Every structure is written in structure tokens, then in C-alpha cells.
Structure 1
Amino acid sequence: MHDYVDRKICVSILADLKLFPAVALLGPRQAGKSTLARELAKSLDHSVYLDLESQEDVAKLSNPELFLGMHAGSTVILDEVQTMPSIFPVLRSAIDRDRHPGRFLLLGSASRHLVNQSSESLAGRIGFVEMSGFLPDECPEDTDSLFKLLSRGGFPESFLAESDSDSYRWRQAFIKSYVERDLPLLGLGAPPQLIRRLWAMAAHLQGQVLNVSTLASSLGSSTSSIRRYLDFMEDALLLRLLPPWVGNLKKRLVKAPKLYLRDCGIAHALLSIKDRDEMMGHPGWGAQWESLVVESCLRWCPNATASFYRTSNGTEVDLVLESGARRVIIEAKASASPSVGRGFWTAVSDIDAFAAFICAPVATMYPLHDKVSVVPIVDLKRCLTEIGFAD
């Protein structure tokens, strides 16, 4: 049993509970949603927790109107709510009778069905908060913890495991469970062996521009099927498809998205990378660092518009964040002595960036230009917060 680790996302959840009658906390299984909800319950005046994968708790909702009426003054926490879609109309009726904020906290393994169901039934009554595994600012600020996060990923059971071998076995079991049980339960109708191969191929393509036709050909499947599977896995918060920047430039820009696995520890398990030494020696090490930087920035800046910039002649930057009329560039470099080429400076000019950060595993932040800095990932959130991009 591990000690509880404070999660930064608590602030967002509590803020939404003061604003909306219902709040949905979405994330992949094992991201720590249930643990977080139980900790949050301690700070609420009155709360009741039900796990809808427990038959005992499901039985309590045999007459949901009566049960919810009995607890009208409490925050009712419903875990794995996607397993009981019939509850959403009941929640809507309960909220319409009493719209005071913080009545319901709904935990769900993210899926298109859950989001659509809750959005349709609870439109205007619900706020959504997305949860991932641990981020760099939730780990101790030292090099060992950072590389541990890179190697093992952010899922709590993996990151906090007693050893690298325990962490690796946990991630292999997680992948097997998701492919054989969880994704089918969420509604993905595809052969588990095919999804396992697709997931592994995605790990090999970490940070690359997506070519669905090539994937489909390699897997012996249709382009439309592979696109549908990728979209489903993105909805389940396992993958991220980062769109290209579409600014009004007289240049030919890449139009396909870039593909990322959202947890680098899961990517390493799919690539059979067992520990830090194997990670550092793998040719995909730079792509895994880029994945961590991109995913962290998008979690820290949920209200910014995110994209990547790449022209047909190869000029590229990893991440463009836009807020209003301002744009920030972030380039990931997996080197303690990072350098950038002419293409980076061209992109800074093309995009008219307000600021640019080169995120690398360095000890301290230092300037490279009047609006370009090299920054360690532990300081990147602070920099983005200071210029109004991060919460």
C-alpha cells in the first residue's frame, strides 16, 4: 500500500464542485481517480461513495430516486459511472429539482459513450475534468525522480512500485487487461490481438506524423477501421493525436496529426523496454522525452489551443500553444546540451511567437535569445503560468 500523493488537479475539481451541480472526472483506469475521490471526500462536509462495479453498491441504487433523495444534502460520488448509463436521466431529474452546486462527482474511465451520454443528459449541469497519471510537478524535483517518471510512466502503481521489474510487470498486466477487457467493455469492437499490435506500432511511431494507410497496410486492415480504432483509443485517453498548426501562411503545411502515447511508461512496456538503462540506449529515447513534454504542457494548459508546426520542407517545432492572439513555442530536446537549427528560428519567425522554450533535461534555466529560453521541465509550468498560459 502506497502513501497518498497530492494531486494538483484537486484544485480544479473543487472549483468545479462549487460551480456545477455535477462534475465528471474522466481518465484511464488506474490513473488514481478513486483514490483521489476518497481523499476529496474528506474535505467535503457530507459525502457518500458508491463503486458501480460493486454489486453491493449497485443494489443501493435499485431505487435510485429514493437513494439520491435520502442523500440530497451530500455530494454523491459515483465511481465507474459508465457501467450504469441508466443513471444519467435520474441525475438530470434530481438536479432539475435542486440545482445547488457540488451534488454529484462522477468518476469514469473515459469513453466517447460516457462523454456523449453525460453531455446529452446533463447539458449545462455538468463540468468535465480530465485526469492523467503523475506529471513532473507532482514528483520530487530531482533528476532521479524525473527519469523514473520517464521510464515507468505516471500511473501510480507503476511509478510507486518497489522495483523496476515490479513496475514493468504491472504495466504488462495493464496492457493485457485493457486490450482483453477494458476496451471491449468501453465499446471497442475489434479483435484484441489486432488492438495489441496497433498499440505496439503506435509506440514505435511515438511523435511521428500519422500515416493511417501505412498502419492499415501493416496490420492487414482497412484504413477506415484503423482510423476508428485510433479515435476510440484517443477517446479512452490512451493516445493523443496532435493536430497541425493551420495559420494563414503562404507555405505548404503538413495536414496530418502527430501520434503520441500519452504515458511513456506504457510506451516502454509495449517496446519491451524494462528500465532506465534500456530507455536511455533506445533509439526512441528522444521521442519519449518529447511525449512527456507535450503531454505535460497540454495537461498544464487545458484552455490553450495546441498544435505542432511543420512545413513541407521540414521546418518543424514540437508544440505551439495559442491563447487569444498570443502564441508560445515549445521544443523538446533530450540532451543536457540542447541546440536548435535554422528551422527552429524560422518557425519562431513564421508563427510570430510571443515566447519560446526549449525543454531539456538541464539543471537550470538560461536564456538563448531575448524571447527564447532553455528550461528544465520542472520549471516549465512556472514559466507558462507567469505568461498566463498554465492554470
Structure 2
Amino acid sequence: MIKRALNLLTSQSFFLLGARATGKTTLLKQKFSPENSLLINLLDPEVHGTLEANPKHLYSMAERDLKKNNWILIDEIQKLPELLDVVHDLIESKSAKFGLTGSSARKLKRGASNLLAGRAFVHRLFPLLPTELGEAFSLETYLAWGGLPKIYDFKSDLERSVYLQSYVQTYLQEEIIAEQIIRKLPPFRKFLGVAAQSNGSIINYSKIANDIRSDPVSVKNYYQILEDTLIGYLLDPYHTSIRKRQRQNPKFYLFDTGVLRAQARQLDVPVREGTYNYGMLFETFIINLVRYNLEYQFKQFELSYLTTKDGAEIDLIIERAGEKTVLIEIKSGTSVRDEELNTLNSFARDVADSEAYCLYRGNIERTVGKVSLLPWEKGLQEMGIYR
């Protein structure tokens, strides 16, 4: 049994949101015993049908457990967001405590939900972290197959490949088609492949629209769908002016390197050091790792990237209120030449009250100008991100 890093706060009701197969139901079962909780699984057709016909049936289904002050756990709440009106009433009238899992924040919002207006914590669960995997963690395996828990039950790469292919296909059917989030499926189906292939690049909405025979407004909406269904993340450009940030386009990162390779149809392509693909996977891995750890620590840091008109780039910037701004360059190699850090050193001098790190796969720790060159694990630990 893998102990998850998420500290699930239970002093009041909570949402536990996360992409499919990240382990939400398993975490609930670890946290709550059947003796002090009622689990309502909306993936069960009979349960779903009963509550869809009349959401008020939740009152009678939960009555006995409410009298015992038990937790009421509802799995995949986005399938029936209208239940939240009943949940809200039970929290107010009966001081009930609910644990609500979901894989589509978008569906909850469209269901006129306001996430219970502060009456419930909102947690997010992500793929497994290296620290959660412990001795089972291998960087090469993680870059190739990602961190979905089921991946680590399989013994062969063939099983992992088939699983990830099925995951991508199931996601299309269950999250997009079945939930009726979009009406025109063909452009969106093409978009998913383009989004994966351009992972980690600055989004060019017009070019993508031309590629999939759509329009830029629809493409922006498609990216928002991926973010709302917790499949990806938009990394905004850095600028001290919020208005100027909004004029520039973000980058997009899928939430898992295994799913990324499956969506880009690259599962048959070996992940080899020194290739562009390897560097992109390592960058995605580090940026996701930073984001997930900060989320689990309840940090309200701003993450962004920086690209100048001359093409100089900083992979990741972390703005921390009351602390120094962190500038991060990510290198997938095992060695880094001093001249490769010239750009980062230049930015470190220009950005006030900042500290600069280059994270790489090597083992040697050294300082080059204002830049700390560190093995990626050591660097994240030094920043207080990796625990």
C-alpha cells in the first residue's frame, strides 16, 4: 500500500479532485473505514440511476449514517452535480460531513455548483510522486510510463503500453463524449494529438486552429477543457505587470509523462537520453513535480516561464510572497557547461531579490556565478519543494 503525500484535511467536508486513475477512491478507502462511513459510487449504474431520477433520495440513503455522525463519501460527484444542493442542505441542517471525489471541475461548475462556497476544502490528487514510490522509483521508468498508480502493478512494458492506450481512449469517451462537454468531436480529437505533440511549447492558437480546421477561440476553449478536467496545466508567461502577462500566450503541460507519450502516439518510440523528446519529458516531469509538491503543501506560489524577444528563456519562475523569487533552468543532461548558464546568470542579475538554480541529472554540486547547479532532487530539497 502506497502512502500518499496529500494531507487530507477532515475537519470539515472536502472535495478530492483529480484526473481519472490517480487513486482518489483508493485514498478514501485508506482514510475511512466502512464502519464509520458510507460510500456512494456514482459509477454504479443502479446508484446513479436512482439518484439521477431523484437527487433527494440521498436523504434516505444517508439517513442511518448521519445519525451515527458517519462520513458520507460520494465518488465521481461530477456525474450528478445536482446532488450538491442536497449535500449543501445536509451540511447546513444536519452538520453532515461529506467527502466528494471528482475528475471534472468543469462539469461541477456547469452544474451550477460553487463548490459549496467555502463549506468544503478543495484538495487535488496527482499521479504518484517519486517520494511516494520510494525504492520503486526509477527516473527512466517514470519518464517513459508516468506515475498513474496502476502502472506500477504491471510487470511488462507491453502491459503498461496497452493500459495507457486504453486510458487515453477511455478519457475521450468518458470525460468528453459521455459528459457532453463539447459538441464537435472531430476537431477536438485532432486537437488532443496536437496538444500532446506541442507539450511544453508556447501555445500558438492560430496555428493549431489551422491544423485542426477550427478557430482560435475554440482552441482556447479546448485547452480550458483539458485544464478543467485536470488533464493538463497552463503555465503563464512571467511579467511584473499582470496586464502584460495577459497579452502573451501560456505554455501547456500534460499532467503525466506516460499519458503524454500515449496521447502523442509515442509509446513505441524509445525514450533515449540526449534526444529532444527526452529533454521535453524531463522538463515536464520537473515542472509537474514542483506544482504537485507545492499544491500538497498548500502554497500559494505563482508559477510562470519567461521568454524574451531574443529567444532567451527561463523554464520556470516561482514567485513566493515575502521570499526570494526562484529562477529555474532544467537540463536533462548529466553535465552542464558554464556557458550554458549565461542566460540564467543574466536574469539572476536583472530580477531583483531572486535566486537561480539549474537542475540536472548529474551528481556534482557547484556554483557558477549566481547560479546553483544541483542534482534535481537536491535542488528541489534546497528550495523547500521536495520533501
Separation (CA, whole Å) in 1 of partners of 2:14 and 2:245: 42
Identify which of 216, 236, 259 aligns with 1:223.
216
- Give the aligned partner of residue 306 of structure 1: 303
* C-alpha contact (below 8 Å) 1:23/1:126 kept by paired residues: yes
Structure 1 residue 354, shift from structure 2 partner: 3.3
Structure 1 residue 70, shift from structure 2 partner: 2.2
Structure 1 residue 206, shift from structure 2 partner: 1.8
- Between stretches 132-141 and 371-380, larger displacement belongs to 371-380
Evaluate the alpha carbon distance shift between residue 55 and residue 270 of structure 1 in structure 2; reply closer, same or farther with a 3 A threshold: closer
- Give the aligned partner of residue 134 of structure 2: 140
Tell me whether 1:336 sits opposite 2:334 in the alignment. Answer: yes
- Give the aligned partner of residue 345 of structure 2: 345
Q: Secondary structure at the match of 2:334?
A: coil
- Give the aligned partner of residue 265 of structure 2: 272
Identify which of 62, 71, 93 aligns with 1:68.
62
User: Which runs of at least 4 in structure 1 moved beyond 6 Å after TM superposition?
Assistant: 251-254
- Give the aligned partner of residue 119 of structure 2: 125
Q: Secondary structure at the match of 2:237?
A: coil
Separation (CA, whole Å) in 1 of partners of 2:179 and 2:367: 47
* C-alpha contact (below 8 Å) 2:341/2:368 kept by paired residues: no
After TM superposition, the structure 1 = structure 2 runs for residues 174-253 of structure 1, keeping only pairs within 5 Å, are: 174-247=167-240
Q: Secondary structure at the match of 1:17?
A: coil
TM-score where L is the length of structure 1 = 0.86
Structure 1 residue 66, shift from structure 2 partner: 2.7
Separation (CA, whole Å) in 1 of partners of 2:125 and 2:245: 36
- Give the aligned partner of residue 45 of structure 2: 55
Deviation digits for residues 175-195 of structure 1, max 9, x if unmatched?
111123322233321444433
* C-alpha contact (below 8 Å) 2:271/2:278 kept by paired residues: no
- Give the aligned partner of residue 93 of structure 2: 97
Tell me whether 1:156 sits opposite 2:149 in the alignment. Answer: yes
Tell me whether 1:321 sits opposite 2:318 in the alignment. Answer: yes
1:86 partner amino acid: E
2:255 partner amino acid: R
Evaluate the alpha carbon distance shift between residue 122 and residue 352 of structure 1 in structure 2; reply closer, same or farther with a 3 A threshold: same
Evaluate the alpha carbon distance shift between residue 322 and residue 99 of structure 1 in structure 2; reply closer, same or farther with a 3 A threshold: farther
* C-alpha contact (below 8 Å) 2:333/2:361 kept by paired residues: yes
Give the aligned CA root-mean-square deviation in angstroms.
Answer: 2.8
Evaluate the alpha carbon distance shift between residue 197 and residue 169 of structure 1 in structure 2; reply closer, same or farther with a 3 A threshold: same
* C-alpha contact (below 8 Å) 2:36/2:70 kept by paired residues: yes
* C-alpha contact (below 8 Å) 1:335/1:361 kept by paired residues: yes
- Between stretches 154-163 and 182-191, larger displacement belongs to 182-191
Deviation digits for residues 5-32 of structure 1, max 9, x if unmatched?
22111x2x1xx212x3x21011111111
Structure 1 residue 275, shift from structure 2 partner: 6.3
Q: How many percent of aligned residue pairs carry the same amino acid?
A: 24
Deviation digits for residues 282-326 of structure 1, max 9, x if unmatched?
532211111111111011113211111121112211111111143
* C-alpha contact (below 8 Å) 1:25/1:128 kept by paired residues: yes
Structure 1 residue 87, shift from structure 2 partner: 1.1
Separation (CA, whole Å) in 2 of partners of 1:110 and 1:159: 25
Identify which of 10, 14, 20 aligns with 1:29.
20
Evaluate the alpha carbon distance shift between residue 297 and residue 69 of structure 1 in structure 2; reply closer, same or farther with a 3 A threshold: same
Q: Secondary structure at the match of 1:308?
A: strand
Evaluate the alpha carbon distance shift between residue 317 and residue 160 of structure 1 in structure 2; reply closer, same or farther with a 3 A threshold: farther
* C-alpha contact (below 8 Å) 2:209/2:215 kept by paired residues: yes
Structure 1 residue 45, shift from structure 2 partner: 7.4
Tell me whether 1:40 sits opposite 2:31 in the alignment. Answer: yes
- Between stretches 73-82 and 309-318, larger displacement belongs to 309-318
- Between stretches 370-379 and 260-269, larger displacement belongs to 370-379
Give the length in aligned residue pairs: 373
Structure 1 residue 115, shift from structure 2 partner: 4.6
* C-alpha contact (below 8 Å) 1:151/1:275 kept by paired residues: no
- Between stretches 346-355 and 113-122, larger displacement belongs to 113-122
Deviation digits for residues 339-366 of structure 1, max 9, x if unmatched?
43321112222223532222212246x1
* C-alpha contact (below 8 Å) 1:321/1:328 kept by paired residues: yes
Separation (CA, whole Å) in 1 of partners of 2:197 and 2:358: 24
Identify which of 101, 107, 112 aligns with 1:107.
101
Unaligned runs of 5+ in 2: none
- Give the aligned partner of residue 373 of structure 2: 374
Unaligned runs of 5+ in 1: none
Deviation digits for residues 122-180 of structure 1, max 9, x if unmatched?
102011111111122222358x7111111101111234421111111111111111123
Separation (CA, whole Å) in 2 of partners of 1:292 and 1:92: 38
